[in-house]
Amino acid sequence: MTALAPAPRRATHAHPHRLTFGHILRSETIKVLTLRSTWWSLGLTAAMSLSISFLLALASNDNGGMFSPVMILVAPIQFTMLVAGIFGAIVITGEYSTGMIRSTLTAEPRRGAVVLAKALVISLVMAVTTVLTYVVAALITAPLVSGGLDWSEPASSLLPLLFGVASMVAFTLIGLGFGFLIRNGAGAIAATVGVLFVLPIVMSLFTLAGERWAWISESVAYLPSNAATTLTTAGATDLSGAAIALIAWAVVPLTLGWATLRLRDA
């Protein structure tokens, strides 16, 4: 009678594979760049910005330089901010609508890392798009604007452009924050458009309501769109309040969205 061979011992130490943050960034980059909605959003942002800058340059040329060269480049932000915010919202709400968010959180249970990676990726994508748009817009409008940008004074040239890039990133993060918070495409887009476009109009109406409501009309300066206008104005000096306001508008919705992701099942 032959003796039975002893059963092989099971491993007593598990070696779970955990994604590094670099791998999460790569995964989020692939997801964002393979979405058709991403390219539609970026293309629309660039097309609107270039068209508005070109028309402003034509108008400035016909009226003796009524717009400064830097204003011609950054003025389209007041319109493209909506596309940037919507882009940030649909990046995440699309995952909720398809159920891909469950796969994402299964692969990486650290929800804060997921939020941070997605925020970094879409911020970089929007920043690069805005920089390239400014470069092309400057080349297109240079023959129509006398003098061109005076790079010797950064406060009137480079600084407004950098704040323009930062503003577009902030608008994108506002949309992303509402996307994580609301988890519904239509709801997140409505909230984003409400904050960026509708709320400034409503609050401005209180200028007609008398001194009792003056604090509301004065608060308009700290809304994201108005803060961006202040930051991108050539030669502006007191920028700290507008900068803090814009950062807060980007961070608060994103923080609330992260808290919601931690507390609620996907």
Q: What is the pLDDT of residue 40?
A: 95
Q: Taking a C-beta distance cutoff of 8 angstroms, is the pair 109, 22 a contact?
A: no
Spatial contact of 88 and 250, defined as CB atoms under 8 Å apart: no
In this predicted structure, what is the pLDDT of residue 128?
97
In this prediction, residue 218 carries a pLDDT of 86
Q: Phi/psi at 232 (nearest 5 deg)?
A: -95, 5
Average pLDDT per 10 consecutive residues for the chain, totaling 266 residues: 49 55 92 94 96 91 76 94 96 92 88 94 97 94 78 82 97 97 95 95 84 85 94 86 96 95 82
Q: Tell me, what's the pLDDT at 74?
A: 95
Q: What is the pLDDT of residue 266?
A: 66
The 3-state DSSP class for residue 264 equals coil
d(CA 129, CA 83): 12
Place of tokens 């458009």: 193
Site of tokens 């959180």: 105
- Cα distances from 22 to residues 12, 28, 29, 103, 114, in angstroms, run 29, 10, 11, 18, 11
* Backbone phi and psi for residue 19, each to the nearest 5 degrees, phi listed first: -65, 140
- Residue 214: predicted pLDDT: 83
Cα dihedral 49, 242, 172, 121 sign:
positive
Q: What is the pLDDT of residue 11?
A: 43
> CB atoms < 10 A from the CB of 189, how many?
21
Q: What is Dmax (Cα atoms) for the chain?
A: 108
The C-alpha atoms of residue 211 and residue 207 are separated, in whole angstroms, by 8
What angle in degrees, to the nearest 10, is found between the helix axes of 158-182 and 185-193?
Answer: 140
